[in-house]
Amino acid sequence: MGGPHISRTVADLRAQVKDWRRQGLGIAMVPTMGALHEGHLSLMREALSRADRCIVSIFVNPTQFAPTEDLDKYPRQLERDLERLAEVGVQLAFTPAPEEVYPKGFATKVVVGGPSAGLETDFRPHFFEGVATVVTKLFLQAAPDCAVFGEKDYQQLCVVRQLCRDLDIPVEIVGAPTVRDGHGLAMSSRNAYLDETGLAVARQLNKVLRNASAAIAGGADPETETAKAREALLQAGFRSVDYVAARESGTLAPWREETEGRLLAAAWLGTTRLIDNVEIAART
């Protein structure tokens, strides 16, 4: 099987999409920052199950990194990524240079309210503005019928859904389940920063969240359980905890017991920041 067609410019991407549309083909998209792992591949398989053609963007988006964050050291492995796209059967890789996405004089930003408030925004106030801007551009450039995002980045998924609703962007947003290793650790490109000792600590994150979620669903006080979870993560070896919070699944407003919810967390292991989330069942 040959590899995917590689588009490095918006003009080439649109020409390929136009040809597919002329053939009456449905198109799905998976936006990524590369360093692809099994979690990403699961999104692509979902996309290919929903459409005739799949576009995967590979672009380390500078606008969602603060000056203090890991833009320069974020893993980049384009050749390996393209091999993985070929393994799954993706038909097109969009791999633009930063100046193709943000040409000289670029001055527009997209800001999404609602589910972007709090959580990640409390610690990375620039983040969702960068995500919303690049996702808007990608959807306008590729014009897919649907796009698949992982539930691991749950707040991001909610923000993108809000973006498309509010701006009438005709792209169906599909949330795909988090892919985990055999110990429950969510697949992440940043896991590559961790040694075996770090991985052993990281694998406690999901375990702590699942325990807290079960307690909350069973009637325990959410504030008490999230405080216990923060302490448990510190005891497990995390350097610090940005948040552990119980929120409603759709709006990310504070969780109420009659609604389905999500327990979301972000914590630091050395210089690596990990995020995860689990469902909270509605109390009956």
Hey, what domains does the chain have and what are their CATH numbers? 5-176 (3.40.50.620), 189-278 (3.30.1300.10)
Three-state secondary structure readout of the chain: CCCCEEECCHHHHHHHHHHHHHCCCCEEEEEECCCCCHHHHHHHHHHHHHCCEEEEEECCCHHHCCCCCCCCCCCCCHHHHHHHHHHHCCCEEECCCHHHHCCCCCCCCCCCCHHHCCCHHHHCCCHHHHHHHHHHHHHHHHCCCEEEEEHHHHHHHHHHHHHHHHCCCCCEEEEECCCECCCCCECCHHHHHCCHHHHHHHCHHHHHHHHHHHHHHCCCCHHHHHHHHHHHHHHHCCCEEEEEEEEECCCCCECCCCCCEEEEEEEEECCEEEEEEEEECCCC
- Bridge partners of 40, per DSSP, are none
Q: How far, CA to CA in Å, does 108 sit from each of 65, 105, 199?
A: 17, 9, 39
The per-residue pLDDT for 15 is: 98
- Binding positions are 33-40, 64, 150-153, 156, 179, 187-190
Q: Assign 188 a pLDDT band (cuts: 50, 70, 90).
A: very high
Using pLDDT thresholds of 50, 70 and 90, give the confidence band for residue 179. very high
Q: What percent of the chain has pLDDT over 70?
A: 99
Which residues are part of a known binding site for (R)-pantoate? 64, 156
pLDDT in the model for residue 176: 98
Over residues 38-44, mean pLDDT = 97
Mean pLDDT value across residues 219-230: 97
Over range 261-284, report the average pLDDT: 94
| Percentage of the chain lying above the pLDDT 90 cut | 90
Read off the tokens for 273. Answer: 């920041």
**Residue 10 in this model has a pLDDT that exceeds 90:** yes
What are the C-alpha distances in Å from 163 to residues 88, 112, 193, 283?
A: 29, 6, 32, 30
Averaged pLDDT for residues 215-241: 97
Per-residue pLDDT, averaged over 13-38, amounts to 97
pLDDT digits 0-9 by tens, 43-69: 999 999 999 999 999 999 999 988 878
Mean pLDDT of 35-42: 95
What positions carry a catalytic annotation? 40
- Greatest Cα pair distance, the chain, in angstroms, is 58
Compare 148 and 2 and report the one with higher pLDDT.
148
The residue-averaged pLDDT of 153-181 equals 98
Q: Round to whole Å and give the CA distance between 27 and 171.
A: 10
Q: What is the mean pLDDT of the chain?
A: 96
Read off the pLDDT of each residue in 115-123 and give the average, rounded to a whole number.
96
272-280 and 261-269: which strand pairing? antiparallel
Q: What per-residue confidence (pLDDT) applies to 274?
A: 97
Feature table: binding site for ATP: 33-40, 150-153, 179, 187-190
Structure tokens at 165: 């609703």
Identify the pLDDT of residue 1: 56
Q: Does position 72 have pLDDT exceeding 90, yes or no?
A: no
pLDDT band of 155, cuts 50, 70, 90: very high
Average pLDDT rounded to a whole number, residues 218-243: 97
Q: Is the pLDDT of residue 70 over 80?
A: no
Q: Provide the pLDDT for residue 282.
A: 85
Q: What is the dihedral of CA 69, 141, 151, 78, to 10 degrees?
A: -60
Residue range 191-196: mean pLDDT, rounded: 92
Binding site for beta-alanine: which residues?
Answer: 64
